[in-house]
Structure 1
Amino acid sequence: MNVNETATHETAAPAPTGERADLLEALAKQRHFLRFTTRDLTDEQAGLRPTASELCLGGLIKHVAGVEQAWAGFMVHGASAMPDFTAMTEEDWSRRADDFRLLPGETLEGVLADYAEAADHTDELVSTLPDLGVSHALPKAPWYEGDARWTVRRVLTHIIAETAQHAGHADIIRESLDGAKSMG
């Protein structure tokens, strides 16, 4: 092989093993269940709210992608990558509510693509971060203890739990739309 051939081939990072592989597998399974609820839907259906909840399938995908992106930033940069929830205004909270909706011009295909990008980034971080035990102080929020710290490992378990919770919400919404089920 000559020098030019070597320069054009990238070396892929080795596949994660052990704990990292287990965490990523658990997260991949929950992501699948969440995405699966949107199969064969139109943009209009993905934006419908067929239950008393204000949640829709497209909005859930959008929300989970955004949350995963924020936590991925936290894994690397700590609380500075997240908002200070204690300083948010009514307008800020209103904008956050839009994270749970498909807004005009947004499509199911687009939010699924954004989610895939967020997932790929998280997976890459988990595979390459030197230590899952590194911890950061949590961002300011009324729901966190003032001096709490989370490790990257704890953040991953949180992402898995949140994705699973929203996959359950999504399953109920999908069944309400047209009777389709994720399992069974």
Structure 2
Amino acid sequence: MGLYTAVTVPDVTGEKLELLTILADQRNLFRVTVRNLTEEQARRRTTVSELTLGGLVKHLASGDRSTAKVITERDEDAEVDMVALAHNYELLPDETLADWLTEFDAATEAFDQVIVLVDSLDEAIPQPTAPWAPEREWSTVRTMVLNKIREYAHHNGHADIIREALDGQTTMAAISEGQEWADQF
């Protein structure tokens, strides 16, 4: 059936199901893009940007974990930890791709569980202040999930370009491997 077959979504209904299904789809595309990487490939820059595939894995895992924390803690005094962000896009020497892929899976599951458990997608959540957002803002859980979908779509584009420059793999080619219709394009 190919690589792109099962999207795992928590047992929910309605709008939560729709949002988490789209988010799971975006995550699945990302996982296809970073499949079968070596440690060296995960750290290699293939464009003029500093981005690497391993760095994107770390960033997205950290982002899901952080957003889940923002939703559950609802801290009206929270600030973005700029020190923690310093290496958010970089696998450090003592970090491995395998460890961050494990954390990616755990963080996405934890984020999804937070969404399953919120009473309403309309709940307003205080957002951490940051240099780029010095005034406290509030976002609904729905908006936060939509922003997460947007972020994955954005970084999927980065990842696909980096991977294609690395070894020629494109995500669409990878998900259509072995499909009869693939040769028509």
Over 3 Å off, 4+ runs: 79-85
1:179 aligns with 2:168: yes
Instruction: Pick one of 30, 37, 44 that aligns with 2:40.
Output: 44
Backbone CA RMSD of aligned residues: 1.9
Q: Which one has the bigger helix percentage?
A: 1
Alignment-derived partner of residue 71 in structure 1: 67
3-state DSSP of counterpart to 1:126 = helix
- TM-score normalised according to structure 1 size: 0.82
The structural deviation recorded for 1:82 is 5.1
The structural deviation recorded for 1:76 is 1.5
Alignment-derived partner of residue 140 in structure 2: 151
The structural deviation recorded for 1:96 is 2.1
- Whether the aligned pair in 1 keeps the contact of 2:129 and 2:136 (CA below 8 Å) is no
Can you give the 5+ residue segments of structure 2 that lack an aligned partner in the other structure? 1-9, 174-185
- Whether the aligned pair in 2 keeps the contact of 1:73 and 1:82 (CA below 8 Å) is no
1:110 aligns with 2:106: no
1:93-137 Cα offsets, whole Å, 9 max, x none, are xx5232211111322211111000001111111112111111122
Alignment-derived partner of residue 28 in structure 2: 32
Q: Provide the identity percentage.
A: 40
1:70-111 Cα offsets, whole Å, 9 max, x none, are 1111112124695346xx4xxx2xx52322111113222111
Alignment-derived partner of residue 165 in structure 1: 154
Whole-angstrom distance in 2 between the partners of 1:174 and 1:55 = 11
- TM-score normalised according to structure 2 size: 0.82
- Whether the aligned pair in 2 keeps the contact of 1:62 and 1:99 (CA below 8 Å) is yes
Residues paired across the two proteins, number? 164
1:16-65 Cα offsets, whole Å, 9 max, x none, are 01100001101001111111111111011011011100010011010011
Alignment-derived partner of residue 125 in structure 2: 136
